[in-house]
Amino acid sequence: MNECIDCIGDFKDDWPSTAGGVRVAGVHVSGVCVSGVCVSVVFYPADFAVRWSQCSATADFFAEYFAAVEACRSDDPAARDEFIGTLSYVVNELVENAVKFSVGETVEVTVGVEDGELIVMAANQILATTATPLGEKFRELLAGDPQELLFARVEANAEDPEAGVSGLGFLTMMADYAARLGWRFAAVHDNPHNVLLTTMARLEVRKP
The residue among 35, 13, 33, 11 whose CA lies nearest residue 123 is 33
* Max CA distance (Å), the chain: 54
Helix, strand, coil in percent for the chain, rounding step 5: 40, 25, 35
DSSP class of 168:
-
Among 92, 125, 198, 199, which residue interacts with other proteins (rule: CB under 8 A)? 92
Q: Of 32 and 203, which CB lies nearer to other proteins in the complex structure?
A: 203
Interface positions, 114-173, toward other proteins (CB under 8 A): 150-151, 154-155, 157-158, 164-166, 168-169, 171-172
Q: Report, in Å, the least distance between residue 47 CB and other proteins.
A: 17
Interface positions, 173-202, toward other proteins (CB under 8 A): 176-177
Among 96, 111, 121, 134, which residue interacts with other proteins (rule: CB under 8 A)? 96
DSSP class of 64:
H
Please say whether the beta carbons of 28 and 186 come within 8 A.
Answer: no
Helices (H) and strands (E) in the chain, counts: 5, 7
DSSP class of 45:
G
Cα separation, 197 vs 127, in Å, equals 10
Q: Applying CB under 8 A, which part among 33-41, 68-76, 87-95, 189-197 lies near other proteins?
A: 87-95
Please say whether the beta carbons of 29 and 78 come within 8 A.
Answer: no
Q: Of 174 and 195, which CB lies nearer to other proteins in the complex structure?
A: 174
Site string for other proteins, 38-77 (x = CB under 8 A): --------------xx-xx---------------------
Q: Report, in Å, the least distance between residue 154 CB and other proteins.
A: 5
Among 32, 43, 93, 125, which residue interacts with other proteins (rule: CB under 8 A)? 93
DSSP 3-state of 200: strand
**Residue ranges binding other proteins (CB under 8 A):** 52-53, 55-56, 78, 81-82, 84-86, 88-89, 92-93, 96, 150-151, 154-155, 157-158, 164-166, 168-169, 171-172, 176-177
